[in-house]
Amino acid sequence: MGATKTDSFSDRQNELAILAKALGHPARIAIIEFLLKVETCICGDIVNELPLAQPTVSQHLKELKNAGLIKGNFEGTSICYCINEPGFEKIKDFFQDVINHLEKKKNECC
């Protein structure tokens, strides 16, 4: 026990969970907010902005990348990370769906 029973859920459920999980850490929220706020997207600048060591930031960037929420490209000697819009669209749509269903349904029985 201890491992998530991934096989017992649908691909869609697992995919949404992976996207949400990737944003389930304040450092990773901070990275996204930084990428939105600032012109640059150089990895080093992200490391400087966050109160975490370079390997830790690198790990968080990797998780965001694996989830499909950011992408990275070489920019000379450093790497430029950008938000990957399709990933955000996917999870935003889920939340939008929830809201839409709620308005249609008004199933607030509690």
Partner DNA sequence: AATATTAATCGTAATATTGCAATATATAAA
Partner DNA sequence: TTTATATATTGCAATATTACGATTAATATT
- Residues in contact with DNA by the rule CB under 7 A: 1-5, 21, 24-25, 27, 42-44, 47, 52-56, 58-63, 72, 74, 76-79
Directed axis angle between helix 11-22 and helix 54-67, to 10°?
Answer: 150
Q: Which of 95, 101, 100, 99 is nearest to 16 (CA)?
A: 95
The residue among 29 and 102 lying less far from DNA, judged by its C-beta, is: 29
Q: Using CB distances below 5 to 8 A depending on partner kind, what does residue 34 bind out of its own copies, DNA, none?
A: none
Considering beta carbons, is residue 56 or 96 the nearer one to DNA? 56
- Using CA atoms, how far residue 96 sits from 42, 65, 91, in Å, is 31, 23, 9
In angstroms, give the least distance from the CB of 52 to its own copies. Answer: 7
